[in-house]
Amino acid sequence: MISAEIAALHAADARTSAQVQPRLDFPPYRSTILRHPTKDLHHADPEEIELLSPVFGHQDVDPLEADLTIQRGGEPIGERIRISGRVLDGEGRPVRRQLVEIWQANAGGRYIHKRDQHPAPIDPHFTGVGRTLTDDDGGYSFVSIKPGPYPWRNHRNAWRPAHVHFSVFGDAFTQRLVTQMYFPGDPLFALDPIYQSITDQSARDRLVARYDHDTSEHEWLLGYTWDIVLTGSHATWTEPEQDGDHA
């Protein structure tokens, strides 16, 4: 039973210290067995190239790419949602004008990908891909369709909880984050070895968006709020106030 394997690993971590980042070696997620490094990460002092980040600008992203419901000339099927929030660094400062990319399954739990052969319908009006730039307050917002759970072959009756993949850049390349946002109250959390690879409960909770009635729209969509916090070394000096590098 996958839940027994997960529980054993959580209990082992509880005796030492639960981990706020996923354990790279987490055998309940079968694909980690041959893909996790066996040696400790080597400490490095970041150099300049690692303390800055690639620059994205208005030419990189069309504002319409933040609305996943209008990309294919018709209404996608499913529960229309807005996901909004802020990207912040560990000190609570906004991460400004950085790229946020998302991808997800459609309402039936199907990705537009040749290797996804799950027998659920492809929605001709939904690609499941979105991009945006954070604003001056670190804010981002996407309109989309709530993704469905989908089966995978990790173990018997394995289904992934509904989730949206996020790719986020910080002010420094050391802050680079790829993660997944989940929806509150999903019954599949306890059985999902990817979500459970983080053994600290409060850290797992940080991957779950909050239903936000204030950003819901009457007769139109449900709002979810999810803030993203990026940590990792970054330059300690303060950048001079200027706006020339995003002209």
Which residue of the set 163, 182, 195, 204 is catalytic? 163
DSSP structure class, residue 142: E
Distance (Å) of CA 84 to CA 159, 169, 222, 224, 227: 26, 16, 11, 6, 8
Q: Which stretch binds another protein (CB under 8 A): 2-10, 70-78, 212-220, 222-230?
A: 222-230
Q: Which stretch binds another protein (CB under 8 A): 7-15, 24-32, 70-78, 210-218?
A: 24-32
Strand segments (E) across 107-162:
129-133, 139-145, 150-151, 159-160
Query: Please, which residue, 65 or 146, has the CB nearer to another protein?
Result: 65
Other Cβ atoms closer than 10 A to 177? 15
Q: Active-site residue 30, yes or no?
A: no
Contact string (CB under 8 A) for another protein, positions 58-97, x = contact: xxxx--------------------------xxxxx-----
Q: Active-site residue 182, yes or no?
A: no
Question: What is the identity of the amino acid at 236?
Answer: T
Kindly give, in sequence order, each residue whose CB lies less than 8 Å from that of residue 178, ignoring residues fewer than 6 positions away: 165, 166, 167, 168
Least gap, CB of 129 to another protein (angstroms):
4
27 lies in the site for another protein, by CB under 8 A: no
Query: Please, which residue, 50 or 123, has the CB nearer to another protein?
Result: 50
Residues known to be catalytic: 111, 150, 160, 163, 165
